[in-house]
Amino acid sequence: MTIEIPLLRESSVFVARLMKANRHFSESTYENGRRCNWSYKYGDAFYRRESELFLADPDSYLAGRVPEPIDIEDVYTQRLKPQQFVIATVKVAAHWLFAALGARADRKIKSDCIRTYRKGYVDDIELVFDPEEPSVVRAIYPFPLNLCRQLRYIRSLHRSRKRFKLAGYPYLVRDVIRLWVRRDVRSLMRLESRAQIRHAAQVVALGVKAVQLSEEFDIGSLDFSRRLARSPIDLRNSAHGVGKYLPVHAYPVFDTVTIKQQTYYRALCACRYSLRCLNDHSEATPARARGHNARLVFLSQCFKGVSSIVREAEARVTRRLAEELASTNVELLYKRHPNSTSSQVPEGFRLLERLTDVNGLPGTTFASFFSTCQVDPAFKGRKVLLRERLIYPEIAFDESEEIVDTNGLVQILQAAATVEVPP
């Protein structure tokens, strides 16, 4: 079994090699771009070869000093694993349900001449588009990673009386049957692509003037956005974090949070990239520190499905920090990932429930491996990225960010602990 290496798929080298390996297929630019995205997600043999090259010499790989990639296998002929087949089937059912529940709202969108269709899943969509923009309907699609988080977002929209509807993709029954019979990537691609193109036509039929997305991670987004881009609708995608996902897109406008995202993605149409900051959604912060000269907030990136490399690195780092800083005046705090359902907290750390308890306090340091919090203005304090075994934050972040190893973080915190806190 191949272990997922954090950030390897997000490197520009990996994507350039993937696209080069796919060029031997005789098909249109659009079809080849779609193939690259499906190979990115399902091309096990290609990923295995690339991970072996990376493990042999990470620095040489990231510098591009590796042998030329061999032609990639036809990903569409690959059989789906049982788990992948079950996930696809559950996804279809969830989208059918959401689509049915949200269908009644479509007539109201037309009659009220709503201007903007904002496609989202959970609360992070509010970080990248104006939460107070008028004449917006928020279309909420199934979110399998954390249903509770999605329900909290829906409740918040209801309490604040912001217009929203449930939405889902119109998967065709005959395509679902084809998937059940063949159980290969080609039938899954056909199912997804046709549903996305049909759904784009449904959105156009609503009469909206603009569509806002934050879904470069969605395997069908290329088909959806390409169809929308052919209509008179203003289409904009805004990256919801520093992560880099399916490399080929068709967004006419793409807002990113790092320069490296702009060099990573490949557009099939004319695209205007722009650099933007995430919205500052922070609340009022306390005026002064209590009890400690310094505090570390370790931003966990562990949740269901994350690479074992990240889990093992987090365990090593938190154990080392607890040992090294036990006799210092440094408070160790642990913030769970938003998609985590675990109640565990590393020994020596205290769970941070509210960001406002520490935000903006003198001596506060936030540390993570590659969290978007590094560029999120809602997190106020010194921010550092941790380089660990097989974890290279520089793949995701621009050169302006502070990157250290565990020794460097210990030194930063020890120095902060000696600074006298003003009364």
User: Dihedral angle at the C-alpha atoms of 56, 61, 67, 73, nearest 10 degrees?
Assistant: 90
Give residues with Cβ within 8 angstroms of 310, minimum separation 6: 6, 301, 302, 369, 391
Q: Which of 136, 200, 143, 144 is nearest to 165 (CA)?
A: 136
Distance, C-alpha 381 to centroid of its chain:
23
The helix (run of H) or strand (run of E) holding residue 31 is: helix 29-42
CB atoms within 10 A of CB 215: 23
Q: What is the pLDDT of residue 278?
A: 76
For 419, which DSSP code?
Answer: S
Residue-range domains of the chain with CATH: 8-75 (no CATH), 82-275 (no CATH), 294-417 (3.40.50)
Helix (H, G, I), strand (E, B) or coil at 368: strand
Apex 185 CA angle, 181 and 187, nearest 5: 45
CA–CA dist 60, 271 (Å, integer): 31
Residue 350: name the closest of 366, 364, 335 by CA. Answer: 335
pLDDT for 266 equals 96
Output the pLDDT for position 291: 60
Q: Which residues pair with 297 in a beta bridge?
A: 333, 366
Residue 374 DSSP label: G
Identify the pLDDT of residue 203.
97
| 141 Rama class: left (phi>0) / alpha (psi -120 to 50) / beta | beta
CA angle 349/353/358 to nearest 5° reads 80
Which helix (H) or strand (E) segment holds residue 182: the answer is: helix 173-182
- Closest by CA position to 178, among listed 74, 92, 75: 92
Helix, strand, coil share (%) of the chain residues, nearest 5: 45, 15, 40
Q: What is the pLDDT along the chain (423 residues), one digit of tens a residue?
A: 678 899 999 999 999 999 999 999 989 999 999 999 999 999 999 999 999 999 999 999 999 999 999 889 999 999 999 999 999 999 999 999 999 999 999 999 999 999 999 999 999 899 899 999 999 999 999 998 888 899 999 999 999 999 999 999 999 999 999 999 999 999 999 999 999 999 999 999 999 999 999 999 999 999 999 999 999 999 999 998 899 999 999 999 999 999 999 999 999 999 999 998 877 766 655 545 456 678 999 999 988 878 889 999 999 999 999 999 988 889 999 999 888 877 889 999 999 988 888 888 888 999 999 998 898 888 889 999 999 999 999 999 999 999 999 999 999 999 988 876 555
- Do the beta carbons of residue 293 and residue 417 sit within 8 Å? yes
Residue 391 tokens read as 């974890």
Tell me the residue length of the chain.
423
- Distance from C-alpha of 384 to C-alpha of 89, rounded to nearest angstrom: 41
